[in-house]
A and B are shown apart, each in its own frame.
Chain A
Amino acid sequence: MSLASLFRRLLGRGPAQPPPKAALSEEDRRAFSQRYLVFKLLLNANNCALRSMGAMSGALAGPIPYGITYVRALCTEAGTNVYSLIRLLNELCGGRYTGLYERFAEIQGRIDAGISPRREALDDPLVLPLPAPPRCSRSGASGRPSRLLEAAQGLDLAVAPGVLITPAAFHSFMERNDLQPEISRRIQLATLRNLRALCRCSESLCNLIRKAPLPPELERDLAAAVVKLLPGAASLAMYAVPSIGSPTAAAVSALFPPVRGIQSPEDAVAAYHAMLTAKYAPEAMLHRMSRGIRGDEANLGVWCARVPEAAVSGVCLSRDPSGTEPPGVLMSLCPVQQGVEDLAAQEYLWALPRDPLGQQAGLESRRRLRGENPSGPPSPIPDDARLEALARVSRRAEARYGGPVVLEWTADKNGAVTLLHCRPQCPEQPHPVPDILDSTPFYSGGLAASPGLAAGSALRLDTARPPAVPPGSLLVAQEAQDAYAPLLALAGGLLAERGSLTGRLAAVARAFGVPALFGLSGLDEVRDGELLSLNALSGEVRRLTGPPPACPRLRLSPPPGSPVHAALQHALDQIAPLSFLDPDSTHFRAENCRTLRDIAQFCHEKAVDAMFQFGENIACQERAVKRLFCKVPMQFWVMNLDDGLLSAGGTQYVQLQDIASIPMLALWHGMTAIPWEGPPAMDGKGFMSILIRSSANPALDPAVNLSMAVRNYFMISKNYCHLRSRFGFHFSSVEALVGERTLENCLSFQLKGGAADEDRRIRRVRFTAEILERYGFDTQLHADSLTARLEGYDQAVMEDRLHILGYLTMHTRQLDMVMADEASVQHYRNKLIQDIETRLQAGAPAPRSRAAWSQDEEEPEAASS
């Protein structure tokens, strides 16, 4: 070393630099910038693809509500970004990897096959008179009305004739108006993060359906059927008919309100439109979300029944929802002009023993549950024999429908009964009963509209204020109004002063499995926020003194095994698994990519290699690659991809003050802020394993030239830094994209290898992963290799986390050698965390960005809202 260089080093003024040879020409600079832009676009596409894959895994596991539209959106995002990756990699590498397009097309085909909707029996007639000729309908829907006929056979009950508007009609309506793509688009645009957004979306979809005309042939067939049915009838009524075998048939029936009073073909068209619109009512959309039903598959059948002249109408639930054992049959009756599900005050209810057959005494024990109507019960009340026949038909129908049923009927002035419709009743959902019965009932004598037990904070409802419902609230209402139906999706329970047990809101509560009590007087004493419990079995409401016990609450995300969950799982299987672990393996080839993640990983690795190799080119190296000088020449080289340097520096060295790269400076700070104390003292076994590994590794031979592969390289631009470092057997890499574009900010860290035996190496990566997880990184471990990622935070958080990565890069070196036991692991864990949080002053908490289903109405500024 010359005296002059010695002085320069001592004074910290940087190294002697030979006179500059050839500065980068404008053309070179542009070539560098252009190449870097392609590389950066590739990094962005990779980050976006990984983000979509992460969102898919998160949705599968977590509480985020989603439907098939979200699944399709994530697949599309992952797909387009991976396609971009392939295109950009080929641009960087002169088209060397075009074979990836074929792999991509194969995977895309497999994804498509799993997420496209299934179509059922769409060649049925559009309108089908029932009973249907054998084999006339292949869809399950026509079976339901036919089964009611079977159940009523031989009893003194008539069954209303009618026609089935088949699922094929619904499909034809959707196809003819090209509605499904537009519906999916509107759902996609709505970002259903809260109830208000969902209600807005629902309104827009209902308007869309209302405005779409029926196909002319459907309108013609429907009109012809109505003209045949109307003579001699009081009116016609329409009911939703789900396919037999559908696990959610009961709920679908409950969620679609019947349309009554149809007097003309025009009325019938309007009524059918109303039935179709109900598919997009908020409660129906929420129900599909909670059960994982695909909105694009749920074809709808509609039963149009002839309603005779009648004096009273009634509903019979084959299983009383109070949850009493043995369960009774619940009958309701009201004057026909009120409609069967209107005005609870005029409704009369009986609970009958479940099996009155052969027990005439049973009928005598019928109990009048309510009859406040001052004018007395509606008449005529069907005689005992007919009530018994109704109970019997409900029992027969249970066997035929495979579960509890709801029968709707009317009776004429002589008490002759006609059955209009039979639909499955939502089965009772078992609710564990927490021990909260230690206080005196606040209210008692309520009637169970939906079984179970709930506890939570009271929320008073009134029509003037569409409330935001904190999940799990106990809704308190005077009237059980249909308008409250969507709120039940979020509620823990429902209390109402007045309401029909056989009415719509009760049915919707049962569909959502939300316990409900009606007929409680004086609920105006309940205050908002008061902690209450309700027990549908005992009909009691109590005040809670402590916090409410955990009660089962509806999950809005699709349950495992449901169609939407299955579609997401299928897509994820084609997209996310990583087959490649080692880029140095001979299997790391384009033709071996089996998933989109494989392709993304392959493209990223090859692109980084291509950028490093570009720097390895000697001609460029002289100009673009310089050794880092920080008081002394360091064992680090810096390759500037674009705008990573403030000034060009000398020809050999670059000083820290010349570096403009935000992530490199943050990383370097972490690497150097706390000096490494050298290799930890190791035990005898640790030392032996090093000797054995050393003798097997030619890279440690001093005679071998240093190449890019073994040098420690920073590849930088202003917002990018990639450090590949190798200290003996320890390989680590940090890649960071950090700047003002928060959405693109991303850190990734890899650590593998080590000199000690495999157990200790694995212990070291686990230990490092735990520390990184503490600071918000997502980590993945494979044997002795660790990958960690963090994305989407602003520049300050990312710089803070880069300090940690820099520190860990230096201070986890050789730690594998001392990872002999848990005590040692614990010692180093404490030391590293203390260093990070006190000496490095890093690890500041960062807020998580995404809420699952929020009350928060503030949404980020969207380009398209």
Chain B
Amino acid sequence: MSQLNLLLVDDEQDLLNIMLKRMKRRGFNAHGCSRGAEALRWLDENPADVVVLDMKMPGLDGIETLRRIKKAHPLVEVIILTGHADMRAAIEGMELGAFDYLLKPALLEELYYKIVDAGKRRRFRQNETSAAPSGA
């Protein structure tokens, strides 16, 4: 299986750096952005299988970023990883098509396996789409 392309989006630069380091060590092709708008620009130009997205960020917040990601890149799976335990916002994220919702502090192992599963799902969906007759 080819290397999974992972985009991490979090406005806390220290945390982002730690996660990037750990995810690269676990074999993902990982990239980090600290703003929603920056993530959208990056996705327009680079392939990604899975995005791990924070909710509260300056500028474009997590929900709006998620909405735009799913619109422009419907096959990309998005895992929300946030410290805001807000049930309404969480369900809104799920309704917008988030693959899963994890509360910080999440165990690295838990996040890792969620990313692996999200990557598998992304590949199945990709195959489904490419197997579908054109115009369907």
Q: Take A743-B107, A862-B108, A864-B15 as given contacts and tell me if A108 and B87 are in contact as well, using a CB distance cutoff of 8 Å.
A: yes
**When the two chains form their complex, are residues B87 and A79 in contact, meaning their CB atoms are under 8 A apart?**
yes
Can you name 22 A-B pairs with beta carbons within 8 Å? A37-B121, A40-B117, A72-B87, A76-B86, A76-B87, A80-B90, A80-B91, A84-B94, A112-B87, A184-B85, A185-B84, A188-B83, A188-B84, A191-B105, A743-B113, A862-B105, A862-B106, A862-B107, A863-B22, A863-B81, A863-B104, A863-B107
| A79 CB, nearest partner CB in chain B, Å | 5
B residues near A785, Cβ cutoff 8 Å: none
Interface size on A, residues (CB 8 A): 40
* Residue B110 at the chain A interface, CB threshold 8 Å: yes
A residues near B41, Cβ cutoff 8 Å: none
* Residue A741 at the chain B interface, CB threshold 8 Å: yes
Q: With the chains together, A186 CA to B85 CA distance in Å?
A: 11
Contact count band on B: 35 or more
**When the two chains form their complex, are residues B107 and A84 in contact, meaning their CB atoms are under 8 A apart?**
no
Q: With the chains together, A95 CA to B131 CA distance in Å?
A: 22
Q: With the chains together, A189 CA to B103 CA distance in Å?
A: 9
Q: Is the interface of A mostly helix, strand, loop or mixed?
A: helix
Q: With the chains together, A436 CA to B105 CA distance in Å?
A: 46
For residue A190, which residue of chain B has the nearest CB? B105
**When the two chains form their complex, are residues B91 and A79 in contact, meaning their CB atoms are under 8 A apart?**
yes
B residues near A87, Cβ cutoff 8 Å: 94
* Residue B45 at the chain A interface, CB threshold 8 Å: no
| A585 CB, nearest partner CB in chain B, Å | 29
For residue A104, which residue of chain B has the nearest CB? B91
Chain A: residues with CB nearer than 8 A to chain B? 27, 30, 33-34, 37, 40-41, 44, 69, 72-73, 75-77, 79-80, 83-84, 87, 108, 111-112, 181-182, 184-186, 188-189, 191, 741-744, 860-865
B residues near A40, Cβ cutoff 8 Å: 117
**When the two chains form their complex, are residues B91 and A83 in contact, meaning their CB atoms are under 8 A apart?**
yes
B residues near A864, Cβ cutoff 8 Å: 15, 19, 81, 83, 104-106
**When the two chains form their complex, are residues A865 and B105 in contact, meaning their CB atoms are under 8 A apart?**
yes
A residues near B111, Cβ cutoff 8 Å: 863
* Residue B46 at the chain A interface, CB threshold 8 Å: no
Q: Is the interface of B mostly helix, strand, loop or mixed?
A: helix
**When the two chains form their complex, are residues A181 and B106 in contact, meaning their CB atoms are under 8 A apart?**
no
Having A69-B85, A73-B103, A864-B106, one finds 6 other A-B pairs with CB under 8 Å, namely A41-B117, A84-B94, A189-B105, A862-B105, A864-B104, A865-B18
**When the two chains form their complex, are residues A37 and B81 in contact, meaning their CB atoms are under 8 A apart?**
no
A residues near B131, Cβ cutoff 8 Å: 27
A residues near B103, Cβ cutoff 8 Å: 73, 76-77, 188
Contact check: which of A37, A112, A188, A191 meets B124 at CB < 8 Å? Answer: A37
* Residue B68 at the chain A interface, CB threshold 8 Å: no
B residues near A84, Cβ cutoff 8 Å: 94, 100
**When the two chains form their complex, are residues A863 and B85 in contact, meaning their CB atoms are under 8 A apart?**
no
**When the two chains form their complex, are residues B88 and A112 in contact, meaning their CB atoms are under 8 A apart?**
yes
Q: With the chains together, A436 CA to B62 CA distance in Å?
A: 61
Contact check: which of A83, A184, A741 meets B109 at CB < 8 Å? Answer: A741
Q: With the chains together, A73 CA to B89 CA distance in Å?
A: 12
* Residue B101 at the chain A interface, CB threshold 8 Å: yes
Q: With the chains together, A188 CA to B108 CA distance in Å?
A: 16
For residue A101, which residue of chain B has the nearest CB? B95
For residue B8, which residue of chain A has the nearest CB? A863
Q: With the chains together, A33 CA to B121 CA distance in Å?
A: 10
Closest 9 interchain pairs by CB? A73-B85, A185-B83, A864-B104, A862-B105, A80-B101, A863-B111, A863-B108, A72-B85, A34-B124
**When the two chains form their complex, are residues B84 and A184 in contact, meaning their CB atoms are under 8 A apart?**
yes
A residues near B107, Cβ cutoff 8 Å: 743, 860-863
B residues near A77, Cβ cutoff 8 Å: 103
* Residue B73 at the chain A interface, CB threshold 8 Å: no
| A31 CB, nearest partner CB in chain B, Å | 10
| B120 CB, nearest partner CB in chain A, Å | 6
| A573 CB, nearest partner CB in chain B, Å | 16
